[in-house]
Amino acid sequence: MNNNLLLDEIFFTEIWRVYTIMKTIHKYESQRKNLFLATCRVILGPKKYNREKIMSDVPHGGIIGVNNSKLDIIFRHFKIFRLHAALHDAFGYCRSNYNEGPGYSYVVKCNFNSCLIGHVTGLIYATYICVFKKNQFNKLPI
């Protein structure tokens, strides 16, 4: 994946294609965990993607908040937060551990891997999808 490639529609479509396959193979994983893993798979490509290593490194990938935070209990009822958490964790992890992808700030180009900027821009992006692409947003299974 090109490090300058931000989350555009073509890339987003590829994540959902891989997610559809993963949710069939890994039925016991949560939808958010499968979205997190699918995003990692698309960013890293087949050669660098190692499911077991990623699961070991980030056992709470896709969960809202740091690690197994109590924030998830509050915000998991909102699809905007569920979508953002899975993407944010995957993009941040891949940049921090493999130097692949744009990092936490997956919507707006940022010269450093900023978790805070990633949260602000990612939640704005998820809200944009919710408001302006309502049909697609409503079809998201997370």
CA distance 124 to 104: 13
- Asked if the model's pLDDT at residue 95 lies above 90, the reply is yes
In this prediction the pTM is 0.88
CA distance 42 to 132: 25
pLDDT at 36: 94
Q: Where are the domains of the chain?
A: 9-139
- Asked if the model's pLDDT at residue 67 lies above 80, the reply is no
Q: How confident is the model at residue 82 (pLDDT cuts 50, 70, 90)?
A: very high
| H or E segment to which residue 14 belongs | helix 9-25
CA distance 1 to 16: 16
Burial class (CB in 10 A: 0-12, 13-18, 19+), 75: middle
**Which of 27-31, 41-45, 57-61 is the least confident region?**
27-31
pLDDT at 7: 64
5-40: pLDDT as tens digits: 456 677 788 888 999 898 888 887 888 999 999 999
103-141: pLDDT as tens digits: 999 888 888 888 899 999 999 989 998 999 888 888 887
